[in-house]
Each structure stands twice: as C-alpha cells, then as structure tokens.
A and B are shown apart, each in its own frame.
Chain A
Amino acid sequence: MAEPDESPIVLPDDPSFGPEVQVDYPGYRSTRWRAPKRPLVTLPEEFHALEGPVYGHELIEEFDHDLTRQHEGEPLGERIVVTGRVLDEDGRPIRNTLVEIWQANAAGRYRHVVDQHPAPLDPNFTGAGRCLTDDEGRYRFVTIKPGSYPWGNHENAWRPMHIHFSLFGHEFTRRLVTQMYFPGDPLFEFDPIFHSVRDPKSRELLIARFDLETTQPEWALGYQWDVVLGRGGSGTTPMENS
C-alpha cells in the first residue's frame, strides 16, 4: 500500500469523542484497510449484561507479575513498579479479574520475530506479565521501563514509551485492550495512536502518574494507573464509526 498519504499525522483535538477512539483515525495508517467502514449494528440491551470468561489462580505462576525475575539474571533498565485499580464506571472495584501486559525492553525492542529494530534483545527479559486483581480491584507488576522505538507509520515515527494492557471484567462487553503511557513523554504530540483519542482529557486517562508512595527506596520507581472498564449498551455505547 505504498500510496502517498497526505493525512496529517495528528488531527486537532475534538472533545466530542469523549473516551472513544476514532477507529478510522487517518494518521494511523494501518486503519485504512482494517477499520470497518459500515455502521456497527446495535445489539439488544441485554447482550451487554452477558457474563464473560473468568480465570482462576491456577493460571497464574509465581513470577508472572514480576517481569524482572523470569530469567537467570536481571534485565537491564530502570526498575519500576506499576500498580493501580480496575474499576467499573461507578468506581466499584472489579475483583479477581485477569490483567495481562506486554512491552518492549529498555532498549525499545520486543522479543518478537517481526520486530527488527536494530536495538539489542535482553536475554533476561521476555516482556510479558499477568496477574489477577485483589479484593480492592488492585493489580501490581514489577518490570523495567520500556524504551521508545521507531515504527514505519510515517517519516521518523517513534512510539512514546508504553506498556500494553489487556483486561476482561466480569461482563463480556467490558473487555479492554489498551496502552499505558508514562508522564511527560516528549513523543506524545507526534503519536497518531495516542491522538486517536481525540479528547485531550480522555488521553490523560492513558497516562500513569509517578507516585513517590509507590516508589520503593533504593529499589524501584513507582507508577499508579487506574483502569475503568465500561460496559457496552445504553448510556455507554460508543458512537458508530460510519
């Protein structure tokens, strides 16, 4: 698809989108042949109350939540604690739900066959974690801060530092896959994926907060990031992506 693309990389803010992404955001070029073009079909309201899959503790292994202890040695990079609560839209904790993360290493390289960025792999870092939330809806990971990396979207394109998150909730339509960013990243203003959330206040919801309380002296910097899983259906239905 080597057609010239004159779309601006980043569109102006538009708060009318609220927390919804613009699924056909033109600056993110992979949307062009992939985002559905027809309006989404509305399902009966009761569908959105349908329960979703539940996971047990038997799926979680001892070091699944600590990405710095999954190999013989320790990974290079800045050790961090990332923690927060998974909540519903009324602020209630979503307990015992699976949280999965994956990320690049400190040099900005993923342990994935497709990633050919000429930055080193780290033999002591896989970049994958999982845990279940506790009774307060809290998750907690120990990892290293991921590096930024180039991607082929446009000339001199670099992704802000981020950790991918996958979450379920207890109803099927609460499912969320998203990315957590780090405060003050100079790449925000150039990133079309971040800006596919057109409402600036909603973009802030994707940025973790540095927290000295979470920071462990002589050990690791701490970040807090809460996630709100909205249910589909009336009141929270996203705009149709016509």
Chain B
Amino acid sequence: MTLPRTPSQTVGPYYAIGLTRRPQNELAGRGDPGAVRLIGQLIDGAGTPISDGMIEIWDAAGRRWGRSGTDADGRFSFVVTKPAPLPGQAPRFDVFVFARGLLRHELTRIYFPDEAEANVRDPVLSSLAEADRQTLVAVQEDGAMRFDIRMQGDRATVFFAH
C-alpha cells in the first residue's frame, strides 16, 4: 500500500507567527573558531527583494540546522562554521527556500568559495555548467559569507528536484 503524499501549500506571508518567533539562526557560537556570518538576499524575477521569505539551512554532516526570515530588504542571516564534507563531496549546506508565491518550497545548496579543489570534485557541482555552478557558491564579503538567491532570471539560482 502506498499512500498519496499530502500536497504542499504556500507558507504565505504570515509564517513568522509560527516559525520565526524564536531566533534559530545561529548554528555556531559567535566566538567559535571559524564562526562567520552567512548573509544573503532573496530576490524575485523582477529584481525585487522578497521581504516575506524564509530560509532553512541544514548541515547534514554536523547535524546542525537553522532558519532565518527575510527582512524588508529581503535579507537573511546566520552564524555558521563551515560544515565538514560528506564522503566524496564538497562542504555545503542544504537549503530550503519558502515564501508567499512559492506553492512548494525550493531546494538549493550553498558551497564555499575557499574550497575550490573540493568543489571541482563534487559530483553535483561539477555536473553543472559554469554559470549555474557559480549560483551555488557563496562569496566572501567584508569578513562574511554572502549567498544571494535569485528565483528567476538570467542568473537564477539552481534549484533541485525533491
């Protein structure tokens, strides 16, 4: 017997009531060795920041999870240390994107700019065209890691089936 799965529906504009009232965006202590801010902007296909989005990140190797809402400028932020790599893969976070207008959450990944060698060998990252690959690698910016997420357009972030 296989049961049909329950369909998805949008998180809507008011998710903060239920999901982000308590801060859950620090996966590492601010004073931990290697702790860094992971920041970014969630942007729609018209170039407008998405101010009612929510980002969840998961470090499968270290079993650390967090989530951040986006602010009026579409910005989200976390405190993280770099995850350990899973065998044969480059270090990364698995990422879900939620927002009004997304009837189902979207799946993407954050890779690290200082892991060039591991990134080249990563089976998923290396299977993508260069322009697409770049959408999944964060950039260093003023001592923080920056990862913008573009839902649509020429530089749209790569999203994965799930």
**Does B45 lie within 8 Å of A237, measured CB to CB?**
no
C-alpha gap A34/B48 in the complex (Å): 10
C-alpha gap A166/B8 in the complex (Å): 10
Question: What's the dominant secondary structure at chain B's contact region?
Answer: loop
User: Does A142 lie at the interface of the complex (its beta carbon under 8 Å from any beta carbon of B)?
Assistant: no
Across the interface, name the chain A residue whose C-beta is closest to B102: A34
Which of A4-12, A131-139, A214-222, A225-233 lies at the interface with chain B?
Answer: A225-233
Which of A37-45, A71-79, A182-190 lies at the interface with chain B?
Answer: A37-45
User: Does A164 lie at the interface of the complex (its beta carbon under 8 Å from any beta carbon of B)?
Assistant: yes
**Does B6 lie within 8 Å of A176, measured CB to CB?**
yes
C-alpha gap A67/B107 in the complex (Å): 31
Size of the A side of the interface (Cβ < 8 Å), in residues, is 75
Using Cβ atoms and an 8 Å threshold, which residues of chain A touch B143?
Answer: none
**Does A205 lie within 8 Å of B106, measured CB to CB?**
no
Given contacts A34-B50, A42-B160, contact A21 B7 (CB under 8 A): yes
**Does B161 lie within 8 Å of A232, measured CB to CB?**
yes
| CB < 8 Å neighbour of B2 from A28, A30, A43, A89 | A89
Interface centre among A38, A48, A177 (most CB of B within 10 A): A177
User: Does A118 lie at the interface of the complex (its beta carbon under 8 Å from any beta carbon of B)?
Assistant: no
Using Cβ atoms and an 8 Å threshold, which residues of chain A touch B65?
Answer: 52-53
Q: 7 closest pairs, A vs B, by CB? A: A102-B18, A30-B101, A230-B5, A34-B101, A53-B65, A232-B162, A40-B161
Residue numbers of A with Cβ under 8 A of B are 1, 18-23, 25, 28, 30-38, 40-44, 48, 50-54, 87-91, 100-102, 104, 110-112, 114-115, 126-130, 164, 166, 172-173, 175-179, 193-194, 196-197, 201-203, 205-206, 227-230, 232, 236-238, 240
28 sampled A-B residue pairs with Cβ under 8 A:
A19-B4, A23-B104, A25-B103, A28-B103, A31-B103, A34-B45, A34-B99, A34-B102, A35-B151, A35-B152, A36-B156, A37-B156, A41-B128, A41-B158, A44-B123, A50-B94, A89-B2, A126-B17, A127-B17, A128-B17, A164-B11, A164-B15, A164-B18, A177-B15, A178-B6, A203-B7, A230-B5, A236-B5
Known contacts A1-B46, A102-B15; 13 additional CB pairs below 8 A are A23-B104, A34-B101, A34-B151, A40-B161, A42-B160, A52-B65, A53-B63, A90-B2, A90-B3, A112-B14, A166-B19, A177-B105, A194-B9
